[in-house]
Amino acid sequence: MRRREFITLLGAAAAWPTASRAQQERPVIGFLSAVAEASARAQLSAFRRGLSEAGFVEGQNVAIEYRWAEGQYERLPAMAAELVRRPVSLILAQAPPAALTAKAATASIPIVFIVGFDPVGAGLVTDLNKPEGNATGMTLISTVLGQKRLEMVRDLSPKASVVGMLVNPVSPDAVSEIRSVQTGAKALGLKLVMFNASTPAEIETAFDGIAERRPDALLVGTDPFFVSQQAAKIVTRAGRLPFPTIYPFREYAVAGGLMSYGANIPNSYRQAGIYAGKILKGASPAELPVMQPTTFELVINLKAAAALKIDIPATLHARSNEVIE
């Protein structure tokens, strides 16, 4: 072998351990989700965009391991335990059930969560501005917006007296959301009737009950199982009812629902990606305040309104951020 070829091979061999070590040291994010992969594409895209803004690109200098509970929340503890054993560098917890499970699974691995309830009241952090523990993230504060949606019921149906609400009783944010809506209903002189559903079959049964009870309007709860896997079914069934249904997220209005009011979900996932990148660079979750949305989207679907023969008041038109023709 020629001397030059030998030196070249020797240099390559010396580089192999370095390359292998770099690959091993590449941080790994555990993406723990309460929903299904097919329903989270927009959120994933936004999360990756935030990661990229922070200097991390999946497959290049960061790896992501995904665990999808697909609405079966009882699967989350085993998934979280698996990520902790690996161990991953950080856990991204999508939706309240995943966030609470991740928090219970580890006190040392950093957690970035996206939830709709109050993370202080739920025990995820001790303070929004100073989380102090191993978790921080984004709150959509969706559960407290039920009162605003009730006010929109008044705008649509001034004579309404009974409002139905579809909720998932096994969701960890159900209690706080129901309590908030009950407070708003009492203040407006409305009677609130609850309809429970935690499976596709129970959604069908619930809508049968709603059609029989015939409230003056319906609110759909913020549970991730509803929006991630059952949005089309819920919108279809609600469209057959002779009264308005108001939803918590834009995705419902895009799917054909009458009206939605809530935070911009993709923007929150982008922010979560930025936070994840900061933590991978050495920031402590305890020093990153929990972020809250500063604006909320009112989306109106005029096609759905026409099908229901509902005239959207000018006051709601003026407040809308998006009108779907």
Cα–Cα dist 163/23, whole Å: 56
Residue type at 174?
Answer: A
- Indicate whether 1 pLDDT > 60: no
pLDDT band at 20 (very low <50, low <70, confident <90, very high): very low
**Tokens standing for 89?**
């560098």
Cα distance from N-terminal residue to C-terminal residue, the chain: 75
For domain 143-262+296-324, the CATH architecture is 3-Layer(aba) Sandwich (3.40)
| Per-domain residue ranges of the chain | 20-141+265-287, 143-262+296-324
In the predicted model, what is the mean pLDDT of residues 98-118?
Answer: 96
- Indicate whether 291 pLDDT > 50: yes
Domains 20-141+265-287 and 143-262+296-324 share a fold: yes
pLDDT of res. 192 = 96
- Indicate whether 2 pLDDT > 70: no
The pTM (predicted TM-score) of the whole model is 0.81
pLDDT band at 160 (very low <50, low <70, confident <90, very high): very high
pLDDT of res. 109 = 98
Asked, as a colleague might, if the bond just before 87 is cis with ω within 30 of 0, I would say: yes
Query: Closest Cα partner for 140 from 265, 304, 299, 322?
Result: 265
Go through 207-242 and write b for each residue having 16 or more CB atoms within 10 A of its CB, e for each that does not. Answer: beebeeeebbbbbbbbbbbbbbbbbeebbebbeebe
pLDDT tens column, 245-278: 999 998 899 999 999 999 888 899 999 999 999 9
Nearby residues of 60 by Cβ (< 8 Å), 6 or more positions away = none
CATH superfamily of 20-141+265-287: Response regulator (3.40.50.2300)
Query: Closest Cα partner for 255 from 312, 297, 299?
Result: 299
